Structure 1
Amino acid sequence: MYAYTRDLAAAQDLAQEAFCRAYARWGRVSGYHDPAAWVTRVAWNLATSRWRRLQTAASFLRRQRPEHVEEPSPDRVALATALATLPAEQRRAVILYHLADLPIRQIARQEGVAENTIKSRLHRGRAALAAKLSEEGEGNA
């Protein structure tokens, strides 16, 4: 299977799946003249099906890709740069609240802290972002 797939992990998965199918049908497969040939044929068929699925997926992705992807706007780059300067807790709170649109209660539950802690992180994070973004704006003027 490795020679056919050129992927060791995939070859191992295919062989394991073929043996599992043989085990599930052992009452019938054991009566064959060469049960190993049946397992080999099943593995080969699985590999062929896998290859076809991969080809179909690759073709679909090629059709879905846009011709031209626009670069991020300068504002988006500035925001990402400013977010990277925040402490991790503040950055998570700001991103989850403002970009992922999660309510404070859910963020607090997810982070395992009190709601007031999230409010504090948001306040500090927004203040730091405002300062950082105004510095960058003044530096470009």
Structure 2
Amino acid sequence: MLQNRMSRFEQLVMPHLKVAWHLARWLARNDSDAEDVVQEAFLRAFRYFDGFHGGNARAWLLTIVRNAYYDSLPTGLPPEPLDEELGPADWSTNPEQLAERKDDCLQVNTALRRLPAAYREVLILREIADCSYRDIADITGLPEGTVMSRLSRARALLVHYLAQREEK
């Protein structure tokens, strides 16, 4: 019975270790905390694996990773503010010119780190974890329309941050 459970867990959940790590890394913003989050998430996933009755194992695991991260935060921390007054992005920045720059990855990573957590997580789930809007809604517990709105704002703010960097 335990062997069957472990085999099923390895087959369904373990292939998503890399994407779980990336989500934890972007949420926690450092390797040490991300390792703790992933370890806790996989312990929880294994502990409650009997409650997983099929469906999208990746979305199920990423929900656990997200919850493990937020559970790890000290209580009483105010959430990062969302910039609801963000105006239209400056689309004059040419992404191809940015890609040609030697430090493109550094610029993008720095800009991603500046995003409020609520924006950063939907952007990471969509662009890096390749989750659908529905999966992101399930993972975050948000309505799908809110996911799309946050994703749009996250992209606009990311472009804004990259444009600011270019002006320097």
| TM-score category, normalised to shorter length | 0.3 to 0.5
Give the TM-score normalised by the residue count of structure 1: 0.46
The TM-score with structure 2 as length reference comes to: 0.39
**Higher normalized helix content (fraction of residues):** 1
Structure number with higher relative contact order (C-alpha < 8 Å, ≥ 6 residues apart): 2
